[in-house]
Amino acid sequence: KAGVTQTPRYLIKTRGQQVTLSCSPISGHRSVSWYQQTPGQGLQFLFEYFSETQRNKGNFPGRFSGRQFSNSRSEMNVSTLELGDSALYLCASSLSLAGEGEQYFGPGTRLTVT
Amino acid sequence: AQSVTQLDSHVSVSEGTPVLLRCNYSSSYSPSLFWYVQHPNKGLQLLLKYTSAATLVKGINGFEAEFKKSETSFHLTKPSAHMSDAAEYFCVVSASGAGSYQLTFGKGTKLSVIP
């Protein structure tokens, strides 16, 4: 069974631009969660989608948004990029809601904002 | 509100000696607790989870953790460290209440294993 895949793996953007990251969950998983990982703040929960509905959201500004498609693939969008958005963005999928059981993580997308 | 505190940001052990990674939590509700491991340039992998069944939880690769409600702790242990255990470890608490849940990650503990 294929694991969680994230594209692209690396991305360099300029301040003020926007970016879209993609996540393909494990087949059969209906939940996709997104996390931001930085050396200073550690791992922070962005949001979770389950069956195309946002089920939970962390404390991030509205510049961070996401969506999930009917095939469970998910995208995350960050608008008006800031230097502080440079981070590793991880996606995780699970059969049930993220807080209820095991999550399977992708390798992440490394975003650098210059 | 809930929080997770991993008491050590870095732990160094010799190969073959015991490993202890400490985690304390606070939660207003009955929590589920997880330990994840992250090897360099890899995603996170679940080591073990506690979900209100047995308080001593066994995970993969010889790791185990004990849930101690009175101490609000969920420390991760392994009897004998292996070089391949060198990685970063995250303690995670999840608790649901009032129709939603909160998922909180600790800051991580980097484990070094000395040959």
Q: What is the pLDDT of residues A30-74, one digit of tens each?
A: 999 999 999 888 899 999 999 999 988 888 999 999 999 999 999
Q: What SS3 state is found at B89?
A: strand
What are the respective helix, strand and coil percentages of chain B, to the nearest 5? Answer: 5, 60, 35
Reported as a pLDDT band with limits 50, 70 and 90, residue B100 is: low
Task: Write the CA distances from B6 to A5, B1, B108, integer angstroms.
Answer: 29, 17, 6
Residue B92: closest CA among B54, B39, B51: B51
Q: What is the pLDDT of residue B29?
A: 78
Residue A60 sits at the chain B interface (C-beta within 8 Å): no
Structure confidence by residue, pLDDT tens digits, B37-64? 999 878 899 999 998 778 899 999 999 9
How does residue A3 score in pLDDT terms, banded at 50, 70 and 90? Answer: very high
Q: Could you tell me the CA-to-CA distances from B66 to A27, B76, B85, B102 in Å, in that order?
A: 33, 7, 19, 22
3-state SS, residue B100: strand
> Which amino acid, B25?
Y
Q: Closest residue of A to B43, CA-based?
A: A107
Q: What is the pLDDT of residues B58-89, one digit of tens each?
A: 999 999 999 998 999 999 999 999 999 999 99
Q: Which residues of A touch B109 (CB under 8 A)?
A: none
pLDDT value at position B59? 94
